[in-house]
Structure 1
Amino acid sequence: MREARFRDNFWSTDLTSTVGYDSIIQHLNDGRKNCKEFEDFLKERAIIEEKYGKELINLSKKKPCGQTELNTLKRSLDVFKQQIDNVGQGHIQLAQTLREEAKKMEDFREKQKLHRKKIELIMEAIHKNRNLQYKKTMEAKRLYEQRCRDKDEAEQAVHRNANLVTQKQQEKLFLKLAQTKSALEDTDRSYQQSVTTMEKIRDEWQNEHIKACEFFETQECERINYFRNALWLHVNQLSLGCVQNDEKYEEIRKSLEMCSIEKDVDFFVNLRKTGSLAPAPVVYENYYNAQRNVTPARSPAPVPISRRGPLPTPTSAPGEPDYATVDGYSLVHF
């Protein structure tokens, strides 16, 4: 159970002081400022979210990302780009939601301001009336006290000069005493009336001050509750955005699970294959052996080779290519 109450803790022993009231008003103004700051924060965050969302959409639509891929990986990339586009759309939607929440905060803040203004006008008027009446009361008290001193002086003058002045002078002293008593009675009545009026105004002000404190306390409780809930809702919206984004990313992961390396390789082979026969090997052709098999056009007799003897048969060391001889010439086999 909350013990501290506005109505019990914002008074002053000085009747004309507004220090307690001013302290409450300052706190409420600070609270309203804090709401405005959060409202501006939401608006700025909305701008960031919208910009980020648009950039993601532009990225997914305009930036190439594996555009020449084939088959299952291509389908995964299509899902990837679509889900990135969806994430961008989600950020744009979040930006709109944040603007709506900022507008709600603004409406709440302005509503409290209007309600407070009514109470503040009442308190401003009663403070002015109270201070004015207090000033009149203090002036009436001052005159009353002055008339009391005048009467006392007149009485003392009569007693001091009872046997020292003439009859005519005594009459003047008694007349002055009577006048001071009469003035005293008038100021006394005026002072009492002023005090009575002051008490009525003080009682009215005190009641209004209590009502204002209770109203302001209720408003402050509402503001804290609304502010806390707004912040809580904002965090939930961000969390929901993360969950929704993860669901979109999960679609990408599911698509990647369906991506088959074997199918994509087979698909490429069947789509782009150019033939199954490899080129024939390039064999060594001995120039002289080829010349020996050629019959000259002018002379059917073979041309003797007088300066070359038979070529030796090469031997292969371990790890070297194998050699073979064809009609006295060698052919390398790798």
Structure 2
Amino acid sequence: MRETKFRDHFWSTDLTSTVGYDSIIQHLNDGRKNCKEFEDFLKERAIIEEKYGKELINLSKKKPCGQTELNTLKRSLDVFKQQVDNVGQGHIQLAQILREEAKKMEDFREKQKLHRKKIELIMEAIHKNRNLQYKKTMEAKRLYEQRCRDKDEAEQAVHRNANLVTQKQQEKLFLKLAQTKSALEDSDRSYQQSVTTLEKIREEWQKEHIKACEFFETQECERINYFRNALWLHVNQLSQDCVQNDEKYEEIRKSLELCSIEKDIDFFVNLRKTGSLAPAPVVYENYYNTQRNATPVRSPVPVPISRRGPLPTPTSAPGEPDYATVDGYSLIHH
């Protein structure tokens, strides 16, 4: 069980000193700054997570990855790209969660600041009042001590000059002594009143100081507890994200277990096969053997088909060469 208390360890023997109070306030300010730093850390982590998530989504959608694969391996690659996309979505969701946690930390920090401000204003006012009254009391004390010295000097003057001065001078000395006594009594009353007032203010300040210490200690306990829990929650969120990512990767592994080499080979063969007969061997052929064994074959001469009738037999006029026809040809005899 915790025994150390703020109220027992932040005092000073100097009534006007605020060293203990200032030490607590400095520590609380440092704690608030630490909360702000963690808050900024969460925001920066959210930016990183969101950017990473978007990059993964763009990668899964835009970057080719085995796009010409077939059958079961193709299905595994589809699952792979989909799960990468899901992982990216998960990081974007985590970024939003981190921003929400940062906002909660900010709200907690501002709430503590608002509550602290009320106490700080009370303490500032009472410190100011206490120090002002202490200054008045010290001034009253200084005046009182001066009046005491003045009265002592007046008494000494009366005794010292009792038989050396005239009656009139003695009367002046006694008058001055009476005046110093009267001034002393006034300063004494004022001094005592100041001391009484200061004591009341001191008691009030002491009570408020104790209350402030207790309040600040409670706040610091709440802050440490909230900070610790926020950090614990943050780590759990990161762990949960890892678990969820592993579940997505497990879907890829399950898909790969269903990937069949035999099925993919059969699928490709049936889809793209071009024939089961290989080309015949190319054999050596001797040119001369080929020529000897070859039998010439004459192609029949086609009889021209004429649309005209038979030509007339030419006749020779007197003095011209003689014509004759042989097998359909006309000859000229000279």
The TM-score, its normalising length taken from structure 2, stands at 0.88
The aligned counterpart of 1:186 is 186
Secondary structure, counterpart of 1:323 in structure 2: strand
- The alpha carbon displacement at 1:233 in A equals 0.6
Gaps of 5+ in 2: none
How much identity, in percent, do the aligned residues show?
94
In 2, Cα distance between the equivalents of 1:26 and 1:280? 97
Cα drift, residue 252 of structure 1: 0.2
Retained in 2: the 8 A contact 1:83–1:249? yes
Q: Superposition pairs for residues 32-111 of structure 1, below 5 Å?
A: 32-111=32-111
- 1:166 CA displacement: 1.4
Cα distance per residue 1:68-109 (max 9 Å; x no partner): 110000000000000000000000000000000000000000
| Structure 2 CA distance for aligned equivalents of residues 51 and 317 of structure 1 | 116
Q: Distance in 1 between matches of 2:54 and 2:178?
A: 96
- How far apart are 1:112 and its partner, in Å? 0.4
How far apart are 1:294 and its partner, in Å? Answer: 1.6
Matches of 2:150 and 2:157 in 1, distance apart? 10
Distance in structure 1 (CA, Å) of the matches to 2:154 and 2:74: 117
CA contact (8 A) 1:310 1:328 kept: no
Structure 2 vs 1, CA of residues 272 and 185 (structure 1 numbering), >3 Å: closer, same or farther? same
Q: Distance in 2 between matches of 1:125 and 1:293?
A: 133
Shift of 1:4: 2.1
In the alignment, which residue of structure 2 is the partner of 1:303? 303
CA contact (8 A) 1:295 1:302 kept: no
Looking at structure 2, the residues matched to 101 and 168 of structure 1 have their Cα atoms a distance apart, in angstroms, of 91
- Given the superposition, is the C-alpha separation of residues 299 and 179 from structure 1 closer, same or farther in structure 2, using an over 3 Å criterion? closer
1:288 shift after superposition: 2.0
Cα distance between partner residues in 2 of 1:92 and 1:269: 43
Give the greater-gyration-radius structure (CA): 2
* Distance change (3 Å), C-alpha of 1:237 and 1:300: closer
Distance 1:127 1:312, change over 3 A: farther
Q: 1:28 to 1:156 in 2, by over 3 A?
A: same
5+ residue gaps in structure 1? none
Equivalenced residue count is: 334
Q: d(CA) in 2 for partners of 1:238 and 1:320? A: 126
CA shift for structure 1 position 13:
0.8
| Distance in 2 (alpha carbons) for counterparts of 1:317 and 1:104 | 136
Q: Summarize the Cα distance change of 1:209–1:300 in structure 2 as closer, same or farther, 3 Å threshold.
A: closer
- Describe the SS at the equivalent of 1:173: helix
**For the residues of structure 1 that align with 2:321 and 2:210, how far apart are their CA atoms?**
113
Instruction: Give per-residue Cα distances to partners, 1:30-66, cap 9 Å, x unaligned.
Output: 1111110110110011011001101100110111111
CA deviations on 1:5-40 (whole Å, 9 max, x unpaired) are: 111111111111111111111111111111101101
Contact between 1:323 and 1:332, CA under 8 Å: does it hold in 2? yes
